[in-house]
């Protein structure tokens, strides 16, 4: 795993393998990056277990709740159109209306979203 700083407080997590396979991985990532001074994080869809995108597993809800609780903003970059779940589409839509969690198509959109107050 590699952390690429985009600014003084935006980190992009780069890895050739998934870094979040279970809830604890997401909490550990949050804690490690927060401890390093990052309060805005970019994470790529391919670095997250596919189970995250199956809302009934509870993985997404648990991890994203922690990010919101600690006021760490997270942008997840990927192509989410491949997921056929209406509940996931609704979840993404509602998340994107808020300030802490967003699902975007590219790095540029992630940086733009995370740079907003």
Q: How do the domains of the chain map onto residue ranges? A: 2-115
So what CATH class is 2-115?
Answer: alpha beta
Average pLDDT value for residue range 40-47: 96
Calculate helix-pair angle for 59-69, 23-35, nearest 10 degrees: 20
Rounded Cα distance, 113 and 51, in Å: 25
Over residues 52-92, the pLDDT tens digits come to 999 999 999 999 999 999 999 999 999 999 988 999 999 99
pLDDT value of residue 84: 85
Q: How confident is the model at residue 93 (pLDDT cuts 50, 70, 90)?
A: very high
Over residues 1-32, the pLDDT tens digits come to 555 566 668 999 999 999 999 999 999 999 99
Model pTM score: 0.91
């Amino acid at each position: 795993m590699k952390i690429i700083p985009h600014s003084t407080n935006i980190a992009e997590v780069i890895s050739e393998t998934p870094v979040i396979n279970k809830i604890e991985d997401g909490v550990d990532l949050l804690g490690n990056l927060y401890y390093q001074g990052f309060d805005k994080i970019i994470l790529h869809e391919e670095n997250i277990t596919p189970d995250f995108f199956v809302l009934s597993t509870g993985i997404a809800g648990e991890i994203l709740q922690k990010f919101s609780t600690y006021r760490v903003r997270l942008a997840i970059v990927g192509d989410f159109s491949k997921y056929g779940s209406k509940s996931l589409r609704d979840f993404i839509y509602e998340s994107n209306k808020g300030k802490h969690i967003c699902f975007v198509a590219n790095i540029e959109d992630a940086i733009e979203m995370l740079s907003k107050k």
